[in-house]
Structure 1
Amino acid sequence: MKTNQINKQEMNRDEICELVATQLSDALTADESRRLNEWIGASEANREEYDRLVEVWNSTPDVSELSQYDSKKAFAMFVERIKKADLKAMAEPDVEQPEIKSISIRRYTINFMRYAAVVAVIACACSYLFYNMGQRNMEQAFAMIKVEAPQGSTTKMTLPDGTEVWLNAGSRIEYSQGFGVNDRRVQLTGEGYFEVHRNESMPFIVKSPSLNVQVLGTKFDFRDYPSDHSAMVSLDEGSVAVGLRSSHDGGYQYRLLPDQRAVLEKQSGNMRIENRATTDRLWTDGTIMLNGQRLADIAVDLERSYGTKILIENRELAQTRFYGVFHRKDQSLSQILAALTATGHIRYAINGNVVRIYR
């Protein structure tokens, strides 16, 4: 509880809502994206609050599209939905909720107007809105479906369009019950491998807190854990278009070819495209590939794969790199640690669910 209070002092409710709304309308700057990601990763309470705001956004008629015609009304709809969600939650017994604060509609409108398109013919805009409101109301009625792979396990699922998705440990995917009616959009947290069913008339779009990916039909791996310093998209077949969530124009600035990987460094906002020598989907069958990774990164993957906590003695040790291939179904965490110990670089001790690595 104390950590949550500190984070709310560092970033108040108005700022959080503003950053989330701007992110989901594809208009965050690199600095704003960094601030939001740091806040999300600061505590589980922050992550839950972020997920709640995303749900509110997704359950509101497309405010980013509506804002092109009436940005004030779009933000009013989003903020009003937040207030209603808070009031409804507070009416439920034994549930502690954050204090409801008055949100300045004017402030949001000014910020959002920087990205809204200027519409000269109001009559055309009104006609467009009336035409689409019935469709939007129908989409709003669809509930969001969430599928999670808990720590220590992976999950395979098939979406309504036939697309197959593997979720790595500690990952979640969200999509509307109306998926495939007018669009094919999913929200990813963590890591997923996608074999997308081809549909040239309806692109498949995956969004994470850092990146957007658009494809027609292809196979690719998408990794964006909130606690990771980087986000990554690796392509096996076909082609994918990759864009930054912080991009002002909301476009897809990069295109990948097979055996290429896009890596975003979250703190700096720098994106690089590189060739890869090995496939990134080996985890889908339980393979753990160590190809020169730092011990710090290996520890994070082992924590997720085996549902444990790993502590490394010092920073120098955390930078040690290892190579090897293991299989989660056939080898326990102790066996993997024993193999790493055989290199002579580390020792380890296990106490319950906590592993300590030292020299």
Structure 2
Amino acid sequence: MDETILVNYLQGECNDEEAARVEAWCEEGPENRKTLEQLYYTLFVGERIAVMNTVDTEASLDQFKSAIREKEKKAKRKSISIRWGRYATVAAAFLTGLVFAGGIAWGLLSNKLSDYEVITAAGQRAQTVLPDGSKVWLNASSKIVYHNSFWSSDRQIDLSGEAYFEVSHDKHAPFIVNSKQIKTCVLGTKFNVRAREEENRVVTTLLQGLVRIDSPRTEENGYLLKPGQTLNVNTDTYQAELIEYNQPTDVLLWIKGKLEFKQQSLLEITNIMEKLYDIKFIYKDEALKSERFTGEFSTDSTADEILNVLMHTNHFSYKKDGRIVRVMKK
């Protein structure tokens, strides 16, 4: 179903034929209904949730219910299960007023809305805006789930894979990223989290603001990160390693989808790779650090794929043992 038609439907701008098509499509399966629910949440709730605390909910609720009763008198559709979508047209009429917030509270507290979910396949990257206004860049083979809850002020997000967050500030609603029992808690900041299923660690890099990272070992006395710091937590032992990089923004090169090296030294290249792949380089010959290379690689390339291309210059070879990469002259 064309998303433009779905948006028009939720905003009350469809004609009867288009509305009937949307409702029939929604009845075809739960996935279609979930899609419409998520779009509904994104359109209306995200930008209005902040005003709910100042609304006279009871008065607004009465007005909203009255509007719905008027709507029911005019509408003769038999499908009760889908009517919440048609009622969204009533809510749209009140978007500029306070009635909307009261009405949306009544509609959503029944837990009928699904969580907001974004998934990327291998080779894909995505950018999205969460219902709270926070921006997220999602790396390949990753998944985030933003949990919709009116029973908690926390903004709870589950992450599998890697994502960069620019979080909208809200001191009353902590933003919590859950990855393999590791929690990254923030109020408003910019940070990157990598939590690949195939890796036994969660790596968090802070670019701006302040975050606290909790694990089953730290409970509520977690690690506080400052801008420029990276925390690597082993998800088997929960031991943590704190790292400080000169250029922490290098961890975000994956957002562009490619790595470009123009007459850069091998040391500069391996420094970038350490951040991207969470590995450590050890040089057996210091002279190799000054060797220069030019090339372009996809951020989906593995560390081995990049090193194998570079070593064909016949300047060096390498041996990898877990996270340690030893570089030596040929």
- In the superposition, the TM-score normalised over structure 2's length comes to 0.48
The structure that has the greater radius of gyration is: 2
- In the superposition, the TM-score normalised over structure 1's length comes to 0.45
Instruction: Specify which structure has the bigger relative contact order, considering alpha-carbon pairs within 8 angstroms and separated by 6 or more residues.
Output: 1
